[in-house]
Amino acid sequence: MNSRNQIPSTRRWVVKIGSALLTGDGKGLDQQALASWVEQMAAWVAAGRELVLVSSGAVAEGMSRMGWQQRPSTIHGLQAAAAIGQMGLVQAYETCFQKHGLHTAQVLLTHDDLTNRQRYLNARSTLRTLLALGVVPVVNENDTVANDELRFGDNDTLAAMVANLIEADLLLLLTDQEGLFDSDPRSNPNARLINESPVDNPELDGFAGGSRAGLGRGGMVTKLRAARLAARSGTTTIIASGASERVLSRIAAGEEVGTLLVSNQEPQAARKRWLAGHLQVQGRLTLDTGAVQVLCNSGRSLLAVGVKAVDGGFVRGEVVSCVDEQGREVARGLVNYNAQESRRIMGLSSSAIQEILGYVNEEELIHRDNLVLV
């Protein structure tokens, strides 16, 4: 998909709704707006298409229910707010979708669920089964138990990972802004909306800015990063204002709404997408110039001879980051040897592994099938 007129033919969407938008900047769930979005999503599903909803708002709704004016500063306070708010969030979606004869399913995920190979496959199978049943999965981060998500996560990234997970055609990020502008429209009345751009356009980085709402954790920076993550599975992204009248229906009809960020990448194999989506790595391998060139230009496996340094305490099968001598990440993959073994064989030819370790797991430190460029 590379233009607006192809959107009506897309079959599988991931829709993400942000906290500030969903809760009216912290005033509690905007029931009227929520009902309108659900009506439009229900029409999409009724037409035989598939949709996964990624919804923020649990922490903000919990704050509203408790009468808190400021976002909690402690992890346990945030976890409590998420637990309280999740009740109202799920009830609201279930009630609205039931009015249109649709069942919903709550799916709480952590980034760790999508970086563990087995749980990744389980989540993928569950979501695909729900879609085949005509059920609308409502996905959120499991903030009540996962500390890392509250410190570093955002639902833009989660939505992109879900798009990778189910091989979505379109990722729609609904926010309180009309889209991505060439400067901040809140301070520059002459700011120009970017209607359409290749997602890998480097100029976009200078246009994005952080979140100012104080409720959510996202901003244009995270939305751009999410769009690029989603592009790895061939998914195109639209950033649009959820406050815009009938925004979902208009986008579904191919109308020019928001910012369209086009993926120019061929979809990667599912295993490569899973590797690329890892947000946490367990160690780092520093490569020499020759190894970097081989990985980037020849698509070959990483051999121990090309490794100059090993950092971390990883075990076999975990994901490690591969960086050049300046510390820039070039790839990541599943390592065939643990950290101690890797340190012993780094810089040596594959033929020396048997002599040094007394055994050979694999000739490669990371096989090309388990390696993805980043």
Residues 186-222: tens digit of each pLDDT: 788 888 999 999 999 988 988 876 444 444 445 788 8
Residue type, 40: Q
Among 255, 273, 291, give the residue marking a domain's end: 273
- Does 320 lie in the same domain as 198? no
- Does 112 lie in the same domain as 77? yes
- Does 193 lie in the same domain as 52? yes
Among 273, 290, 323, give the residue marking a domain's end: 273
Cα separation, 227 vs 160, whole angstroms: 7
pTM: 0.79
- Does 344 lie in the same domain as 214? no
- Does 329 lie in the same domain as 202? no
DSSP helix/strand/coil, 87: helix
Cα separation, 324 vs 295, whole angstroms: 11
Q: pLDDT tier at 277 (50, 70, 90 boundaries)? A: confident
- Does 310 lie in the same domain as 243? no
Cα-based torsion angle of the residue sequence 330, 331, 337, 338 in order, rounded to the nearest 10 degrees = 70
Among 226, 252, 273, give the residue marking a domain's end: 273
Domain span at residue 170? 4-273
pLDDT at 146: 60
pLDDT at 211: 46
Q: Which residue has the higher pLDDT, 280 or 35?
A: 35
- Does 37 lie in the same domain as 144? yes
Backbone angles phi, psi at 222, to 5 degrees: -70, -30
Q: How far separated are the first and last CA of the chain, in Å rounded?
A: 22
| CB 237, CB 199: distance < 8 Å | yes
Alpha helices of 99-116 — where are they, by DSSP H?
111-115
- Does 81 lie in the same domain as 192? yes
- Does 291 lie in the same domain as 144? no
Structure tokens at 17: 């709704």
Which tens digits make up the pLDDT trace of 114-148? 777 778 888 999 999 999 999 999 998 887 666 55
Which CATH number belongs to the domain containing residue 142 in this structure? 3.40.1160.10
Which CATH number belongs to the domain containing residue 324 in this structure? 2.30.130.10
Computed on alpha carbons and rounded to an integer, the radius of gyration of the chain in Å comes to 22
- Does 61 lie in the same domain as 198? yes
Per-residue CA distances from 23 to 78, 176, 243, 358 (Å): 16, 11, 12, 61
* CA-angle at 155, arms to 6 and 111, nearest 5°: 110
Q: pLDDT tier at 151 (50, 70, 90 boundaries)? A: very low
Q: pLDDT tier at 350 (50, 70, 90 boundaries)? A: very high
- Does 183 lie in the same domain as 82? yes
Residue type, 62: G
pLDDT of 113 above 90? no
Most confident of 55-59, 80-84, 304-308, 357-361: 304-308
pLDDT at 69: 86
Q: pLDDT tier at 328 (50, 70, 90 boundaries)? A: very high
pLDDT above 90 covers a percentage of the chain that reads 57
Number of domains in the chain: 2
One-character DSSP codes across 249-307: HHHHTT---SEEEE--SPPPPHHHHHHHT-S--SEEEEEPHHHHHIIIII-PPBPGGGE
- Does 312 lie in the same domain as 265? no
| CB 307, CB 324: distance < 8 Å | no
Which tens digits make up the pLDDT trace of 41-69? 999 999 999 999 999 888 888 888 998 98
| CB 249, CB 255: distance < 8 Å | no
